[in-house]
Structure 1
């Protein structure tokens, strides 16, 4: 209950037994509203801010006050002892600051003095409360920080008994919070871990700070990499009373560092191998060097590199293995080679076991990988690499090995190209035809010896020059035009020129010129192969002269023969007239054969390039002409307009020959001819069907590509002409029997838009 001096000020519990002192005290307190008197029903257990006692109250409650203060500790309320002047020298009166008294006021009681003492004690208590609250808050913050730390934090006494461990430490070692105090490090750690820790712990107790890395078994049995820092723990007197540890689990970091080291070593190996490849020589020289680079790295164990041809090992080198080379060759079975090339990269979890066992079963288990060495679908060999036990390769490491195998494949491919190029250069130099590579400007980049002989210039003098350097201007200009057409048209061209050389006179060359492409697929020049056809053309001109003379004389003389035969047939009778008519028929056949021969010769002389032709228009023209010349024939035409194909200009003669031949062979009935044209994909097909007796065996031989013989008649020559024209048009010619009667001739040509 409240007493005099009530209000809302500091609560004072007066434990005063002397009435005189109490009266004076209450009078002094009642003079201000800064204090109020309370008498809790529970006494010292009640709520108050400050305790005031006198000698009697202290005497009666001394033991209770001491116990109360010991129990409350820093939370005990301040106590003021009021002592009368007569008792101030009594030995039992405690000194201020001793238990359980905080201050002492010796009477007589002066209100101002009392108020000042009470105020001072109140402020001291408030200051102490704030400090304690701050310390408590700071202590809790430290506790939260330690508990929430990502590192493991712990403290142990000099005997290795835990005093404290945060959540990370407890989780790692499988401890509950209540089990920490008193747990020994020896009982907590794996035997080998404790053996490793003990000497370091002792060094810290001697005052040394110790940092180290080690492996420690976690509560779940997994061995983890840790980084530990241990420091001496001292009491206020500076004595070492234990060890404080900060431990960090660096397993992932260590794994990353190990991975970086492994990748760095892989890259070093790749770089070393590429260095060897740059200076690559013959296979037998460079491949052992590559295998040695791989085998001397800690990353790999046994290393085999086999070159294969088909399913046979042609060459093999190996390092890091005690297996004999013949045995390694036997390991490269057909099934192993096919499995590697089919997979590209064949991973083997255990090379001591089937299906591709490469060590005895009692060898420690370890993994391996076999990688196909190839380039542009060309198989070269197999790189087989084994790894140390317990160290299988990561995906990125296998990727680097695949890159390495790709580099080896490219190097072997380049070696092949160099060998092929050397062979090609030798062939080019031995060919008696001029061969050249020229850039877009027409300047010589590659030439053979034959060209230098025609030009009468050294190779050094020709490089960087063009035909104007040794050829007449007119021909050189014409060749320059052909080069430009090849470059801009992006397709080969065949042409003839007749240059004049200072040391060889006039010559005739038939040249085929092709576009040449750089590595990016862009045209960077042309390649030309030139054939000196001077002698051939001279013989052809002579034959043409002889042919014209022969045909002229043949026609003249046959006109005489046919005229006399006709006269005899008209004037004679019987066998003589019949013989004259046979002479007349044979003469007409001979004239027809000569005309067909003239047509073929003219065709062969043209040598005109292929071009886009409207087959529909040509067939329509041919059919109209044949309907006029053979009015009794029935020709059914079904060919679409604008049916384009790429042909020689003589395709019209060939189509005319096929349809007319079908009409002429049908002699025992009205000829019925069907002409059909259709586009099939990228090809154009023309079918000519008749109702005749079928194609004679001799004509069939011509259609099948037989050579012309003295027995082939005019019809056979005509079909030979058809076959030649279709072939020159890069088409095909086929025939088949027609049911129930007749035959079908089919011409297939390259289509065009």
Structure 2
């Protein structure tokens, strides 16, 4: 079937139609043009076959011609996929293309919207005699370069309208020569603007979000320079609603020059929302502190987040392509993994603790959740696993269980409390004293069962431990609902976690109610005996003085002996009182300047003993932590040197530093301190027939040192020492020969900033 079109000179020209790889389509083309007044030659060619004839006048194709570099492909669509027609170098004309798919196709419709040389007619909307196909071919064959330039805007409008109807995509065209902008009906609808409005290019740009306008201008300018663009912007509709739109544009070329830009315009808000949600989800996964990894159905790892390396020690490149078995510790049995796989392959979620192994070989505990990833048909396609490292919590729980087991074996109340003072662990003794179930005590504090006054006092002690991070000892006498008033001595310690951060407290209480009652009775008895002793001794001393005044010779000497012994006995009772008061009072340590203390003591003793002098060597204040009785203890040591040294001796008090301790040394050049008194000053010991009370003064010194977390050490020029420490242990005493050449007593005390607790 040949039909010739008349030339301008009256002759006819043979026109070639190239049909790409489809004989049935070629037959349809021949039938459609049978009654048209054209001389045509329909050629059927495959995508990769070179043309056997000169350049065709039109190309008809079911699909978008693919870019393969062949002459046919170049003749059909140019040098890039989707470019539409190509420019004819000899005639400055693009070869037209008719796209004739069996049914509507969005991508082909968009191509037609972007290129005036491409016509798009789905066969499903054509007539039985292929009338629309024949019209499209006729229009393509009839166009001349001048026609294309003159009718470009009209054709563009027709194609853009077809695009909007067939693909739900808006179209636009900008003519740079007339600076006119054309929108399709769909583009107007997407903007929310009435079609009576004829926008300029600048007005159209103003419809976008202010932050995106510069990008729109840049894309248009690039297209006018011959480049294509495909961008997404935020469009602000006339009603104020913001939508995500995708705009694609390509330059329009005429006679070798860019004369405008055409493009497609589509609302992609609904598509972008899931994309944005996916991006947010990915950011959340990347930032998560949990190890997250994704596998395929067989368990092969396809993705791990950054926290995976933090938890396991494996970098992504070390595990992607592997399976999670490289994390096995060997501690989980096969039944565990069989149950795991059975659960997740059935589409259920698995959530159980697991013991895994890091790259370093260290085991770690994890709380693991594995969820299946299913396709649209419900088939399991892969899995996502989330692991939370709970190693520290497991170890803490194990320590608590160990503590609970040990604590419950002890009869004394023992408790573990957090930094808020709430019970985390209590043993059976605490439950018994509180008179409440263990479950009621956990998470509560002492106010649940103690009288408010004592509970507040305990709160103060807890705060002191947390602030000072030091253990403390204290006594309390709370009243319980079931046991009444009881007395306790409590030691409270700070508790630290694995990072050496304070994490709570442990308190160990000893019920001393019976002991406290006995001590109370002994104090009462001591006061009674001392009162009677003073009264009786005053009577004895008064009568001895009368006898001394009224007698002479042997009788007078006996009266003097009575007075001397009585005075010693009164002094002994006074020393005993000081020790009892020291042991029974709750005196707190204070920061004291030893320089001031020593100077005051020496000044008072020199006033009492005007014929004695004491050399003092103390170059700085030397602030120590000690109880106020330290002054009496130093005075006791200096006075003891006066008594045992004789008349013609030198006494020296030196204060110096040894490591984190301050040492007060009292030395003399006399006969030294008797061994019996040294032993008496070394703490409690057996009372033998040889023991007597002459060492009570040094015992007082010992107890002051102990209460101040210090120690007493006896030395001699011979270098043999006897020490009484803050724990009461002693070392061999100096022998008699060494003691006879002089004595040295050293009192060691903690500095104010040493952090030592009182014993």
TM-score by length of 1: 0.45
TM-score by length of 2: 0.45
More helix, by proportion: 1
